[in-house]
Structure 1
Amino acid sequence: MSLSHPIAIPENEIEFSQIRAQGPGGQNVNKVSCAVHLRFDIGASSLPEHYKERLRKLNDQRITRDGVVVIKAQQSRSLEKNKADALQRLQELVESVSALPPVRKPTRPTRSSQLKRVEGKLIHGRVKSLRGKIVE
């Protein structure tokens, strides 16, 4: 999804904290904190109000009840690459709510579709009546 004017999120609204990565990595994993927790408070951000509303309504496990987006990035062994990955994922999350859902236009069933539906019900009813006991 590409937008003509992507939303820019100021750096001062994003909080990074370094943590130790999980999983294999040898001796280095116990010494170096190269994974990143990105925290972004939706309510305190400078995003437009309708973006904030849509973000809060998202059913996403990365968004807390308090309206804080928490993204953990630990794919790379480099702190800078993990920061860039977390920022990219935050940007994608915000851009996912920027697109408006299409407006639904109410429609009415056509006359022929109504007749077909009633015909199908009649046929089904006849088939079911044939399943009953035979009375002589």
Structure 2
Amino acid sequence: MDLARESFIAASGPGGQNVNKVATAVQVRLDVFALRLQPQVFARLKAAAGSRMTAAGEIVLTARRFRTQEANRADARERLEALIRGAFEAPAPRAKSRLNRVGKEARIKAKKTRGAVKANRGKVEW
């Protein structure tokens, strides 16, 4: 079962006359629903893919960085693999920061000082 489909399209950029004759850019389409991912992994993949994911649940990647089909095909596959691998890595839970009494006092003092600077701005009365 082949989940990803590759098609070759005309590329822009370097290549001279070759660009006009040969379809060197690669467009890879992957059906995400066929992967049967867990909901949290799917959500991370959807967020990482952004606008590259269609409403039909396909991730569309276009690789046109290189001058040959083989290099662009390898580039597209690497990028797709990196995108999927990144979705499987759960983000580290955020540790709540703790501020001690001295830190709180220093923050309040800095706020008061900044407020005093702003309060002194404006029209000057002679």
Is TM > 0.5 for Structure 1 vs Structure 2? yes
* Closer/same/farther in 2, CA of residues 13 and 123 from structure 1, 3 Å limit: closer
Gaps of 5+ in 1: 1-10
Report percent identity of matched pairs. 35
Shift of 1:93: 1.1
Give 1:21's aligned amino acid: A
Structure with the largest fraction of helix:
2
The alignment status of 1:66 with 2:56, answered yes or no, reads yes
Q: How many residues align?
A: 125
Q: TM-score, normalised by structure 1?
A: 0.70
- SS at the partner of 2:42? helix
> Could you tell me how far apart the structure 1 residues matched to 2:28 and 2:99 are?
50
User: TM-score, structure 2 length as denominator?
Assistant: 0.74
Determine the structure 1 residue equivalent to 2:3. 13
Superposed CA RMSD? 3.1
- Aligned partner of 2:44 in structure 1 is 54
Q: Secondary structure at the match of 1:51?
A: helix
Residue 43 of structure 1: how far off its partner (Å): 1.9
In 2: Cα distance, 1:46 partner to 1:118 partner: 51
1:79-114 per-residue CA deviation (whole Å, 9 max, x = no partner) reads: 222111100010111122222211122233211112
Alignment of 1:67-82 (within 5 A): 67-82=57-72
Q: Measure, in 2, the Cα distance between the counterparts of 1:132 and 1:81.
A: 66
Secondary structure of 2:33's counterpart equals coil
Report runs of 4+ in structure 1 exceeding 4 Å deviation.
Answer: 121-129, 131-134
